[in-house]
Amino acid sequence: MSLASVLALGSCADNTPAPAQGGLTLKFAALSAGGCNAHPNGTGQLPDGIVRLAARVKIGTATSERLTLDATKLDAGKWEIGPLPSNQTADVYVYGCDAAGKIVYQGRSNGIAIPDQAAAPVSMFMIPVGKLACTGNNAVNTGADESHHLSAPRSFSAAASVANGDVVVAGGVGDWNGESLTGLASLDTDVYDHEAGHFRKGPTLLKRRVWLHAHRLTDHHVLIAGGVGKIVGQSSALVPKLMAPTSATADRPDIAAEILDLRRGAGGKYPASVAGKVDIGVGKTFLSSSIATGDTITFVGGMADGGSALDQATRIGGLADIAAGSAGTTTAIALKQKRYKPALVAFGDGTIVVWGGIGKDVDAAKSIGETIAQGAKDTTAIVVSGPKEILESDKLATFGPAAAPIGESGGKLSFIVSGGMPAKTPTFGAGTSSYIVEVGSDGKAAIKTLDLGKNALFAGFGATALQLTTGEALFAGGIIALQKTAPCTGDSECLLDKAWLISPPASLSGDTVKTTAKILQLGGPRAGISAANLPSGVLLAGGQAKVFDAASKGQAALDPTGRVVSGAPKAELEAAMCGK
């Protein structure tokens, strides 16, 4: 289950208590192994195990003492917090504690305006720790523009967080034909309201896009870039032979980039999307990757017009100017290797690590990675060492690998890599390596075996990967075959139905790194799930539930579901909030 709450903050200008109105109203969304639907979402039943609620309010640099309430003493499900200084802006943190003193739910709401001499209702959707829960709050009007799930089921969408903590989910496959293995991209976007726990229909895109990019430009503007309008089946001559356009240039949108403004106007409607003037370079190509660092977004690799991989990257800058309608700046970067859909992670200083996406005709161990320093126009090759069984594996060279950072310390960045499609067998990805990389600012990297005990990590092509704000790495879903052939004879064998929530390792020493992982069930096979961080946790939205089922047509193969999960809080926070 997941928890939603409405919190009333009372203000006080002269130590006079604010009128008692509103309060903390608890709402809950059900977690179901069979999927999420509207009926159980947002019920008023307290989740099993919560014995106490704890809260802190932060105004500027000042943080309140811990505020607590016995869960059995909620007054009609409400909890009023106050009085607080009026005409201020506050951040509120709420935690659900169990009998053992563990945080089992957590939520956060940012930028709350405290009015003068009044109580302000504040929505907060609490997310369970280490468990997937369904989005949705039955206290919210679930009409045409507000829903517990996406307005239309989609897969291979792009997602981006904005400053207030909400997430926009844009484009993706909106119509799938399992007989012809073709998909039409969608014009839809949805905005996930993290405080209320539901989706709201967002602006309509100017062009249909799947395999697109989405990045925040300003507090409320988002860049939507690249992608293709349609993907086809195994008649494609390209690599990959599934989930690809008919050619490198086919169905490429004639508007390379567009800009969404997520400030709602009159009647609660969003402004229309507008065409962007920025030159995104390789970002317009199929199978390019992208990452945001500081005031820049960098697009890397992709497919050249003739179908071969690109050895180029493009950096755009001046994000606020781009949001305002200018072209910003565009810088071309030369890569040392040609790459399809490489994995991208970044150091805290903005240096980008480009990993994988290489072809079958190169020495994988010598070509697997390179770095792009902030402002640089070329790259530095990464020198790799590691176990022979990984370095000499014919499945080390993959396109579309998934990677998520797991920590940075002492000038070294560590990240986990899994999945993708091997360059030598680009239609079947079973058995691709999962490993951890520790790369230094000196360009030297060590590949290490990742030991998760019984919960071995395996991600496919189209897997989702990111690092939570609490430090864990999340991998979810993916497809292991791009054609229907043994042992992948159907969707239950070809698509993965799990997510891995991997804890940061206590030590990176030695050739094998041990840590722990929680296995989360996705409610069925899924690939192309979109994901983005929330103030407390992460949102997973949509996905491809069926690929090879010939009877699946239209939206039947696609998933509209939204799910949330949060990582484990630090021990000091847990003791402060849930301790005696």
Q: From the CB of residue 196, how many other CB atoms can be counted at a distance below 10 Å?
A: 22
Sheet holding 537-541, edge to edge: 133-134, 562-565, 537-541, 530-534
Which residues on adjacent β-strands are paired with residue 317? 296, 329
CATH class of the structural domain 150-341: mainly beta
Of the candidates 356, 344, 392, 351, which has an alpha carbon nearest to the alpha carbon of residue 374? 351
CB 228 within 8 A of CB 251: yes
pLDDT of the residue at 40: 47
What percentage of the chain's residues is helix, strand, coil (to nearest 5)?
5, 45, 50
Quote the pLDDT of residue 298. Answer: 98
| Spatial distance between the Cα atoms of 553 and 569, rounded to a whole number of angstroms | 42
DSSP 286: T
H or E element, residue 158: strand 158-161
Which residues have C-beta within 8 Å of that of residue 303, sequence separation ≥ 6?
238, 248, 285, 286, 287, 288, 309, 310, 340
CA distances in angstroms from 163 to 45, 221, 481, 559, listed in the order given: 31, 9, 37, 27
Domain boundaries for CATH 2.120.10.80 within the chain = 150-341
Enumerate long-range contacts of 232-239, CB under 8 Å, 24 or more apart.
232/180, 232/181, 232/182, 232/183, 233/180, 233/181, 233/182, 234/181, 234/482, 234/483, 237/307, 238/286, 238/303, 238/307, 239/307, 239/340, 239/399, 239/426
Tell me the C-alpha to C-alpha distance, in Å, between residue 20 and each of 11, 187, 302, 313. Answer: 10, 45, 58, 57
Least Cα distance to 88 among 61, 108, 68 occurs for 61
Distance in angstroms (rounded) separating the CA atoms of residues 249 and 543: 25
- CA–CA distance, 87 with 117 (Å, rounded to integer): 9
Whether 213 and 290 have beta carbons less than 8 Å apart is answered as yes
Which pLDDT belongs to residue 161? 97
Q: Can you list the positions of beta strands (E) in 301-443?
A: 310-317, 329-339, 343-346, 352-355, 369-372, 380-381, 383-385, 398-399, 402-409, 412-418, 421-422, 435-440
Query: What letter represents residue 532's amino acid?
Result: A
> Could you tell me what percent of the chain has a pLDDT over 70?
87
Collapsed DSSP state (helix, strand, coil) of residue 40: coil
So what's the pLDDT on residue 572?
Answer: 96
Residues present in the chain in total: 580
Encode pLDDT of 31-78 as tens digits: 555 567 654 455 556 677 889 989 998 988 889 889 898 888 766 556
Per-residue pLDDT tens digits of the chain, which is 580 residues long:
333 455 555 544 333 333 333 334 445 555 555 567 654 455 556 677 889 989 998 988 889 889 898 888 766 556 777 677 777 888 889 899 999 999 998 988 888 877 776 666 677 788 889 999 888 866 555 555 778 889 999 999 999 999 999 999 999 999 999 988 899 999 999 999 988 888 999 999 999 999 999 999 999 999 999 999 999 876 456 667 778 898 889 899 999 999 999 999 888 899 999 999 999 999 999 999 999 999 999 999 999 998 899 999 999 999 999 999 999 999 999 999 999 999 999 999 999 999 999 987 888 889 999 999 999 999 999 999 999 999 988 888 888 999 999 999 999 999 999 988 888 777 776 667 899 999 998 999 999 999 999 889 988 899 999 999 999 999 999 998 877 777 777 888 889 999 999 999 999 999 999 999 999 999 889 999 999 999 989 999 999 999 988 888 889 999 999 999 999 999 999 999 999 8
What is this structure's pTM?
Answer: 0.93
Under DSSP, the state recorded for 73 is G
Q: State the CATH class of domain 2-140.
A: mainly beta
The residue written with tokens 């302000």 in the block is 120
Candidates 420, 578, 571; CA nearest to 503 is: 571
285 contacts 228 by C-beta, under 8 angstroms: no
Q: Which residues contact 188 (CB under 8 A, 6 or more apart)?
A: 150, 151, 152, 154, 170, 171, 172, 174, 201, 202, 204, 205
The structure tokens listed for 497 are: 């139905």
Looking at the chain, the domain(s) classified CATH 2.60.40 span: 2-140
Q: How far is CA 89 from CA 11, 14, 93, 118, in A?
A: 11, 17, 14, 14
Q: Residue for token digits 């805290």?
A: 348
Which residues neighbour 410 within 8 Å (Cβ) at sequence distance 6 or greater? none
And the tokens for 92? 């509120």
| H helix or E strand, kind and range, residue 389 | helix 388-391
Q: Greatest CA span in the chain, whole angstroms?
A: 75
